[in-house]
Amino acid sequence: MIKLLQKEKIEIRKAFFLQAFQREIENMSIISFGRCNFNCCYCKRDGQFKDKNNNIINAVDCSWDELKDIIRTEIAKDRRIRLSGGDPCVFQKESLEIAKFIWDEFGQKISMAHNGSCPEFVKKLLPYLEYVAIDMKSPYPDKFSKIVGLKNGEALIKNSLLSQEYCTNNDVLVDVRTCVFEHTTPEELKTIAALITQKNNLKNLFWTIRCYNPVKGCDYHAPDKDILLSYIAEIKNLYPDLKMGMRAKWKGGFEFF
């Protein structure tokens, strides 16, 4: 039995970043696993509220047969299946089975949103991935640890970078995602830019800046958009070949730089 955040109404999102690669925007059907190995305090999916088995409190059970029916229905509507969460890495066997099922039955590759913690998991999925979103919370180990509620920030940064590299160097498009807060500095963003441009194949790399939207119970604050735009302009001057965009809201609205 698989844990999902919801199964009665599948969330649909648009893959805006594909425009940067001269591809049409696709609709993605989001299969959100109801378990996560991170404890991000600002999680929009209640991932900071979990039981003793790391199941998100509002997760529901879903059988393999039910999931296959959901997948068939969504693909029939010409949508790309995206595995998300929670995080797919806590259902590695199931994620691989889903990806193989979609490839074998429909000849279609999947998308995935992953926190970047498990590069070996990403490596196993490479033959079945069309494009992925991988988180890069911060380039600073202490801050990364604080954000995700874990202690091994340095290792997690390395894992995120390696996950990105596996994909971009194997012709899988990567959307690196960084949530930006009021306290995020331009130096922090420049350091991320330096890290993600070292070993990634830039022709397959995109970086999405995500403005933080306040979450009840989290004491972080949203950044000033004009100040953030000035940071982005600095980064583009330093890294003109780095494709970048900004998602200011969780639903709709996207700017390219």
Half-sphere exposure of 33 (CA within 13 A, CB side): 27
What pLDDT shows up at residue 249? 62
Cα angle 113, 115, 119; round to 5: 95
Question: In terms of Cα–Cα distance, which of 18, 19, 50, 13 is closest to 35?
Answer: 50
Strand partners, 255: 246
CB 178 within 8 A of CB 235: no
Give the pLDDT of residue 213.
85
Write the secondary structure of 114-173 as one string of H (helix), E (strand) and C (coil): ECCCCHHHHHHHHHHEEEEEEECCCCCHHHHHHHHCCCCHHHHHHHHHHHHHHHHCCCCE
User: Looking at residue 44, what is its pLDDT?
Assistant: 76
Least confident of 26-35, 75-84, 213-222: 213-222
Is a pLDDT exceeding 70 seen at residue 198? yes
Q: Rounded mean pLDDT of 211-232?
A: 90
Q: Which of 237, 170, 240, 250 is nearest to 210 (CA)?
A: 250
Candidate from 30-44, 65-79, 128-142 with smallest mean pLDDT: 30-44
**54 — pLDDT class (breaks 50, 70, 90):** confident
pLDDT band with cut points at 50, 70 and 90 for residue 252: low
**Where residue 47 falls among pLDDT bands split at 50, 70, 90?**
low
As a whole number, the mean pLDDT across the chain is 93
Quick one: pLDDT at residue 45?
Answer: 72
Pairing of strands 80-84, 60-62: unpaired
Bond from prior residue into 86 cis (ω within 30 degrees of 0): yes
* Residue from 188, 246, 255 nearest 212 by CA: 246
pLDDT at 251 over 60: no
pLDDT tens digits for range 116-126:
999 999 999 99
